[in-house]
């Protein structure tokens, strides 16, 4: 490699190239930020309830069993499309009731079944979580997941 | 050991090795829960076990990086570390934070408290007070090593290492930004997660690797430095826009599918170069360094990183493929071999190299250490294969055929048993490694005497 370039050339290419790619990345990030706010997540307003629901999702570390838009742990089903899977995406009241029924049946204690902890959530909290999952489900994720199974 | 303050690394490496054993034990427990799901389900649920597994991994790797920096910077800069006291306070903060995290997770303390409760974004679950502690510790560290480097000789190795470490600290600041919009949250979350492991961590890795090659093979610094800049150049040229491969399905614009596919495919290049670099240096090197175990780990890390991060990463990075494999056991397979190959093995390489020097004795016990390499690497390779098979079946049944998640999981149990078996090998290897580093006083098998050939022969 001695013939091709010197160490200081290699160093300058590293610096210059990195700055170049950082700038492109930042530019695309700005555009993506605007696109996410105005386009891909704009079909449903980001209400107070949705924001509280996201916090409940975080406080219970749900992502360390479930995946959401495919990210998280792979121990439990995908929930980015759970409201579609349950057929309640456009029925907030039924979504709440279905989620409440599910949450309150945990843990199942069936031998050989993966166990979900029994979280003691109030109706208000379950409603918030339900609204958050509906909101997430309505995001334009470019057609992912391929089917309802998630 | 030329400089007294290199000894700081000893405490860092010890703390790292303790957490390493905790990490793999947590992994083994998580693997057992996959095959016997009722285990501890109401005492220590799976999500808590997984947080301990992933968080302890990240912390011990960082402790290893910090320790490595404290070990190699005095030698490179030709002077003692600016302030050993700050280095030990920094370690104390990190250890306190780690203990706080473990207690908070296991007993689920302060749930919902913004300062004391866990934060719940994947890998960034640490309570806010711990995150602040991490930033304080990082600032102390950067101040300490930057002052040392600025006052001493500047080499390509310290230069790249410092850029990498500053990058780690700056990108971590995005951990404090949690937008209410989930898609925005995910976009900036990757600023920490992706730009760490597929960006600035590669700089740290390449710098430490270059140092090891310099010491172990005796190749000219000039040659090593040029390789180093070429490697880290390709890391950032591909890795920064390679972030796009995480933006396919989270609500980001469609152009990321092409940008992500192209650049993340090229992310294999720096790992290929690191592998070529290490083998070429050993081939060209004139030095017959007595620490063969460190050499094995050095060659092992580049090879396993090439397969784990490079090949297994490419396996599911094209958006047309990722549409079906995203979030399946394929991802788990890649994650395990990538982290083990690139960052675990690299840390174990520098531990293996540095410990005998810090303890001022021959590199005991190399045979056991090398056995631990094969045990851990073999276990991890096996785990990667079985998870890849599990992921392939999962992708077909769930994503193509549309079968329900749990129905599919029930058909993968055989693979989860094999993964648990592989996990036992990894844990035994990890314990054997720690034992080989710390305990034995003499070599198990005497090395053979080498014939010295004169140039005329």
Contact flag B182-A150 (C-beta cutoff 8 Å): no
Query: With 0-12 CB in 10 A as exposed, 13-18 as middle and 19+ as buried, what is B100?
Result: middle
Q: How many other C-beta atoms lie within 10 A of the C-beta of residue A43?
A: 10
CA distances, B234 to each of A86, B50, B82, B163, B314 (Å): 46, 33, 32, 15, 16
Residue B453 has a pLDDT of 53
Q: In CATH, what number does A48-137 get? A: 1.10.760.10
What is the pLDDT averaged over residues B174-180?
A: 97
Contact flag A111-B38 (C-beta cutoff 8 Å): yes
Q: How many other C-beta atoms lie within 10 A of the C-beta of residue A76?
A: 20
Tell me which of A9, A36, A63, A140 to substitute to probe the interface with B (most B C-beta atoms closer than 10 Å). A36
Widest CA span in chain A: 72
- With residue A71 as reference, give the H or E element that holds it: strand A71-72
Sign of the C-alpha dihedral computed for residues B392, B380, B265 and A69 taken in this order: positive
Alpha carbons B49 and B132: distance in angstroms, whole number:
24
Residue B457 has a pLDDT of 37
| Closest of B279, B284, B426, B419 to residue B348, by C-alpha | B426
Stretch 142-181 of chain B: residues touching chain A, C-beta under 8 Å: 156, 178, 180-181
Residue B456 has a pLDDT of 46
Q: Could you give the count of Cα atoms lying within 13 Å of A101 in the half-sphere of its Cβ?
A: 7
Whether complex ipTM tops 0.95: yes
In degrees to the nearest 10, what's the CA dihedral of A137, A51, A99, A44? -40
pLDDT in tens, B224-238: 999 999 999 999 999
pLDDT at residue B447 greater than cutoff 80: no
pLDDT in tens, B360-405: 888 878 999 999 999 999 999 999 999 999 999 999 999 999 999 9
pLDDT at residue A79 greater than cutoff 60: yes
B217 three-state secondary structure: helix
Distance from CA of A25 to the nearest CA of B (A): 6
Residues B285, B261 contacting (CB under 8 angstroms): no
CA distances, B366 to each of A16, B209, B335 (Å): 43, 19, 29
Residue B287 has a pLDDT of 87
Alpha carbons B386 and B392: distance in angstroms, whole number:
10
Interface check B141 vs A, CB under 8 A: no
């Amino acid at each position: 490699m001695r013939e091709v370039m010197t160490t200081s050339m290699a160093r300058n290419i590293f610096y210059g190239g990195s700055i170049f790619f950082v700038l492109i990345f930042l530019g695309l990030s700005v555009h993506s930020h605007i696109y996410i706010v105005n386009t891909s997540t704009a079909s449903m307003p980001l209400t107070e309830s949705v924001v509280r629901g996201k916090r409940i999702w975080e406080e219970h570390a749900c992502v360390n069993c479930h995946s959401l838009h495919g990210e998280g742990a792979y121990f439990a089903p995908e929930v980015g499309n759970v409201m579609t899977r349950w057929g309640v995406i456009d029925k907030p009241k039924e979504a709440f009731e279905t989620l409440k029924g599910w949450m309150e049946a945990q843990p199942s204690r069936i031998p050989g079944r993966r166990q979900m902890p029994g979280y003691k959530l109030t109706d208000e909290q379950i409603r918030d979580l339900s609204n958050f999952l509906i909101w997430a489900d309505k995001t334009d994720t470019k057609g992912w997941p391929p089917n309802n199974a998630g | 050991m030329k400089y007294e303050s290199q000894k700081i690394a000893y405490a860092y490496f010890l703390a790292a090795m303790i957490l390493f054993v905790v990490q793999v034990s947590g992994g083994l427990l998580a693997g057992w829960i996959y095959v016997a799901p009722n285990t501890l389900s109401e005492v220590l649920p799976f999500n808590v076990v997984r947080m301990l597994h992933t968080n302890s991994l990240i912390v011990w790797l960082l402790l290893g990086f910090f320790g490595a920096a404290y070990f190699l910077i005095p030698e490179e800069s030709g002077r003692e570390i600016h302030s050993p006291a700050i280095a030990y306070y920094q370690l104390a903060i990190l250890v306190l934070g780690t203990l706080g995290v473990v207690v908070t997770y296991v007993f689920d303390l302060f749930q919902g408290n913004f300062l004391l409760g866990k934060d719940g974004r994947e890998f960034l679950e640490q309570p806010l007070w711990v995150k602040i502690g991490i930033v304080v510790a990082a600032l102390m560290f950067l101040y300490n090593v930057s002052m040392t480097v600025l006052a001493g000789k500047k080499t390509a190795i310290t230069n790249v290492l410092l850029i990498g470490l500053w990058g780690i600290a700056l990108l971590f600041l995005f951990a404090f930004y949690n937008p209410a919009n989930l898609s925005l949250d995910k976009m900036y979350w990757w600023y920490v997660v992706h730009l760490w492991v597929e960006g600035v961590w590669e700089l740290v890795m390449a710098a430490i690797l270059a140092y090891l090659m310099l010491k172990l093979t005796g190749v000219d610094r000039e040659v090593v430095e040029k390789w180093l800049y070429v490697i880290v150049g390709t890391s950032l040229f591909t890795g920064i826009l390679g972030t796009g491969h995480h933006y396919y399905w989270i609500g980001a614009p469609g152009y990321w599918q092409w940008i992500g596919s192209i650049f993340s495919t090229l992310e294999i290049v720096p790992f290929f170069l690191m592998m070529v670099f290490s083998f070429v240096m050993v081939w060209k090197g004139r030095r017959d360094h007595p620490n063969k175990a460190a050499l094995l780990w050095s060659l092992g890390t580049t090879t396993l990183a090439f397969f784990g991060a490079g090949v297994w990463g490419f396996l599911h990075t094209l958006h047309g493929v990722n549409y079906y494999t995203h979030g399946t056991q394929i991802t788990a397979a890649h994650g395990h071999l990538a982290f083990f190959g690139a960052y675990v093995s690299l840390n174990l390489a520098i531990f293996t190299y540095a410990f005998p020097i810090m303890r001022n004795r021959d590199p005991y016990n190399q045979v056991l250490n090398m056995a631990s390499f094969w045990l851990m690497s073999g276990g991890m390779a096996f785990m990667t294969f079985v998870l890849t098979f599990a992921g392939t079946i999962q992708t077909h049944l769930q994503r193509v055929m549309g079968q329900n998640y749990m129905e599919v999981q029930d058909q993968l149990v055989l693979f989860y048993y094999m993964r648990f078996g592989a996990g036992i090998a990894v844990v035994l290897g990890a314990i054997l490694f720690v034992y080989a580093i710390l305990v034995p006083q003499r070599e198990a098998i005497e090395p053979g005497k080498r014939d010295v050939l004169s140039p005329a022969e």
